[in-house]
Structure 1
Amino acid sequence: MSIVLHAPPTPSAPGLLLRPWRVGDAEALLAAYRDPVLRSWTRQPVDTPADAQAFLRRSRQGWAANRRFSFAVLEPTPDGEQLVAHVLVKEVAPGRPAAEVGYWTAAPARGRGVAPRAVDAVSDWAFARFAATGLTRLELLHQVDNAASCRVAEKSGYVFQDVLPARPPFPRDGHRHVRHLA
C-alpha cells in the first residue's frame, strides 16, 4: 500500500510518518506491547511473534476489505524510524455515516503530543477519502477512567458526546467523543 500520511513537527517534537503496517514491523510491535500500561487498555495483547503476525495479517485484511485502516505511526531517528503509535479507522462502510477511530501510544512517546497529531492526521484522511461515500462523523471511544484519552480526543477536535454503559468486553463505562466532517 502506498498511502503515507504526515503530521507536521511541533517546536518540541519531530514530524510523524503514518503508513500501513508492514510485515517487518513485528519486532517493534512486540516491543510496544511489553508496556504494562498499553496492555491494560487493550483487549488483544500482542505477546508472541505469532500474535504480532496475526495483528499484521488483520491489518492487511482490513485494508484489502476497505473497512479497517490501521496505521503504524513512526518518528524519525538518527538510525531510521521508531514506532511511536498506532491509529486506525474502523467500521467504514459505504452509506454508513459514522466510523470509529482508535489508537495507542508507545510508552516512550507518551506526553509528547504524538497521539493527538496522529489521530488528527488520520481523521482528516478518513473524511477526505470517505466523505463521498457518506462518512460524516468519526467517534473515539475510551473507558471513563482513561483521562489521557479524553485529552487526546479534545486536542484532536473530538467533542465529548455521552457516557456509554459498560458492556463486555469493556469492564467500565465509556466516553464517546465525536468529530464531524467540517
Structure 2
Amino acid sequence: MGWTSTDEGGRLRHVAGAVRLEPVDEQNLEPLLSVAAAEAEPGDVMPPVEAPAGWSLARREAFRDFHRASFGGLDGPTRSQMYAILVGGEVVGMVRMTRCDEPGTVEAGMWLGRSARGQGIGVTALRELLNAAARAGMRAVVADTTADNVAAVGVLKKCGAKLREDAGKVRAEICLDSTPPAL
C-alpha cells in the first residue's frame, strides 16, 4: 500500500509501501547502522563519542551499543523506546521516545537517511510515534530542535506541535489529548 505527498515544488510523489515503525532490535540494528553510515553524519544519529572521525569501526560499535542500551524500552535503564522507520520494508531511519522527569511526558527524536528526506516520511513516522506514546499512557510529547532545522520544525507543525522559539532554539509540545491534523 502506498501513499502520496508533495515535494518542494508541489509535485505529487509516491512512496512505495507504507511507513511503519518497528522496535529496534538485533534483527534491524545492522540495517539501521548501514543507513546511518551511508546517509547521515554520526553526530546527527547518536551521542558524541571518543573515536576517530567519520564512521570508524569504534564509532560503529558505539552506535550498536547506544541502540542496544535501549532494548529495555521505556521501563529499561535508558527509559527510551527506539523504533526503526521502515518504508516498503526497508529501514530508512529511526524515531525514539524517552521518558521525561515530568510524568506522562516523553521526548521525541528522529533522523532519516538523506534519500528518505522530503517525502513526508518524517510526518508519518512522528504520527506513528505519537500513537505509540498514547498507547503507553503518555499525555504529551516534547521535542527540541533549532530554528534553522526547517524540516524538523515543519514535521512538528504538521503533527500539531505548539512551538516556542528562544534564541534560535525551538521547543515543541504535542498534547496527546488532541488529534493531530490530517495529512
What interval of TM-score do these two structures reach, taking the shorter chain for normalisation? 0.7 to 0.9
Greater displacement, 107-116 / 59-68: 59-68
Partner of 2:104: 97
Q: 1:71 to 1:42 in 2, by over 3 A?
A: closer
The Cα RMSD (Å) is: 2.6
Partner of 2:173: 178
Alignment of 1:7-156 (within 5 A): 9-11=2-4, 12-13=14-15, 14-34=17-37, 38-44=41-47, 47=55, 48=57, 49-63=60-74, 65=76, 67-76=79-88, 81-91=89-99, 96-130=103-137, 135-156=138-159
* CA deviations over 1:77-125 (Å, ceiling 9, x no partner): xxxx3111211110256x7132211111111100111111000111122
The answer on whether the counterparts of 2:108 and 2:141 sit within 8 Å (CA) in structure 1 is yes
Q: Which runs of 4+ in 1 moved over 6 A?
A: none
The answer on whether the counterparts of 1:89 and 1:101 sit within 8 Å (CA) in structure 2 is yes
Q: 1:153 to 1:51 in 2, by over 3 A?
A: same
Shift of residue 57, structure 1, vs aligned partner: 1.2
The answer on whether the counterparts of 2:94 and 2:112 sit within 8 Å (CA) in structure 1 is yes
Scaled by the length of structure 1, what TM-score is found?
A: 0.74
* CA deviations over 1:57-93 (Å, ceiling 9, x no partner): 11213355283111001112xxxx3111211110256
The one-letter amino acid paired with 2:3 is: T
Aligned-pair identity (%): 20
**SS of aligned partner of 2:131:** helix
The one-letter amino acid paired with 2:146 is: Q
The answer on whether the counterparts of 2:36 and 2:45 sit within 8 Å (CA) in structure 1 is no
CA–CA distance in structure 2, aligned partners of residues 34 and 57 of structure 1:
17
CA–CA distance in structure 2, aligned partners of residues 157 and 69 of structure 1:
22
Shift of residue 139, structure 1, vs aligned partner: 0.7
Partner of 2:165: 163
**SS of aligned partner of 2:73:** helix
**SS of aligned partner of 2:71:** helix
Partner of 1:169: none
The answer on whether the counterparts of 1:23 and 1:53 sit within 8 Å (CA) in structure 2 is no
CA–CA distance in structure 2, aligned partners of residues 36 and 145 of structure 1:
20
Q: 1:113 to 1:105 in 2, by over 3 A?
A: same
* CA deviations over 1:6-55 (Å, ceiling 9, x no partner): xx842322311211112133332232223575445345269334223203
